[in-house]
Amino acid sequence: MATESFDIVIVGAGFAGAATAYHLSERFSGSVAILEQEKTPGAHASGRNASLMRQSETDPAIRAAAIASRQAYEGLAGEIGYEPVGSVLLGSGASLELARVEGAEVGGESAASRFVIPERVVERIPLLAGHAIEAALETPGDGVIDTWALLTFYLEGARGRGVELLTECRVEAVERLGGRGAGAQADLAGGGGYRLRTTGGTIEAGRLVDAAGAWGSELATMAGVDGPELVPYKRHLFVLDVDAPIDTGWPFVWDLDHGFYFRPESGGLLFSICDEERAAGSLEESVTPGIEEALADTIYARLPALEDARVRRVWSCFRTRASDGRFVIGPAPGAERFVWVAGLGGHGMGCSWEIGRLAAQALLTEHAPAAFAPERF
């Protein structure tokens, strides 16, 4: 089988890789390919998330990325199924103050976060009756997005501008090359490149983008690249059937201090207990024994109005994080042809627009965004 060569190869067709390819293809005329190990893009974290677009984040750099992304999503609402239903965050006043979105950040006080009286929250969302609420923060611009519509938007946009998507193409080995590397524009990043042995054949890349999510560290190791430790954590999501009325227009609710969130979903509730189990061994999604008991414990302790809820469905996905919880975007120190777009920690969908824009900019300029630069490790 002949070797294929591309200027840039992106490993992973989830939100990190798809958004990077979308923005890169707008500005780069060279050859680009996305390699996806599964038959269907987004089969893991990107396609198994809670679909929440949350700007009210405690980390200011991640909050800025979420705000920039939300501003883009507003203009694409009809194409990506964006619904600004808003959010209500619960917790201590101090924790909520860190997450508060100010009017200057979002272009006006009407879209800014505001503290609301807990009793008003319970009146609007009766399922919170009996839950001890210290403080509540409402952010009208937060919302939900059709996960598959957004991922498809990125991939179709990139493919329409010439990006190749190669599915069922798992990377099995990576060899670092000397010289000028592969592709017509490979000299943009200096000498070198990478040769990838994949299940779809041999592929050479002038530059290699690690958007492999939970497999990010594995790819870097194969490429001989030192970098941050990226740890996949398993989290479970449930769809619950409840007897109480549910208003599909409710904002999503997230309790920062007690670790749970929920939103209306398919006539029931999509619910998470914000569990985190460090992945060990296999990275195949599976349901951890006893997780329904942990759900019951959370409901019993915090949400008596849901004591009769029934589990319709449960699944797991991975959230991969660096040690400081921030994204890792940019060329690897000492291996500038290897570019990280990793450690998204559950923010991959909501922040994907800005993540892809920053990654494309890093590829074109060879300069990482300061807040997310790999050099910090």
> Can you give the CATH number for the domain in which 34 is found?
3.50.50.60
| 0.95 surpassed by pTM | no
225 and 305: one domain? no
- Give the pLDDT of the chain (377 residues) as one tens digit per residue: 578 999 999 999 999 999 999 999 999 999 999 999 998 887 665 567 789 999 999 999 999 999 999 999 999 989 999 999 999 999 999 999 999 999 999 888 888 999 999 999 999 999 999 999 999 999 999 999 999 999 999 999 999 999 999 999 999 999 999 754 444 344 443 457 999 999 999 999 999 999 999 999 999 999 999 989 999 999 999 999 999 999 999 999 999 999 999 999 999 999 999 999 888 766 777 899 999 999 999 999 999 999 999 999 999 988 999 999 999 999 999 999 999 999 999 999 999 999 999 999 999 998 999 999 999 99
Residue 366: inside a domain: yes
Residue 63: inside a domain: no
Number of domains within the chain: 2
Give the C-alpha distances (Å, rounded to integers) separating 352 from 19, 155, 292, 295, 355.
6, 13, 31, 29, 5
Give the C-alpha distances (Å, rounded to integers) separating 169 from 5, 16, 42, 117, 201.
15, 17, 14, 52, 8
Residue 59: inside a domain: no
* Domain that residue 358 falls in: 4-46+148-229+324-376
- Give the residue ranges of DSSP H helices in the chain: 15-27, 60-75, 77-80, 93-99, 103-106, 118-124, 147-160, 216-222, 291-302, 352-365
201 and 241: one domain? no
Rg, the chain, Cα only: 21
Which of 321, 345, 367 finishes a domain? 321
Residue 126: inside a domain: yes
242 and 312: one domain? yes
314 and 331: one domain? no
| 33 touches 163 (CB < 8 A) | yes
115 and 166: one domain? no
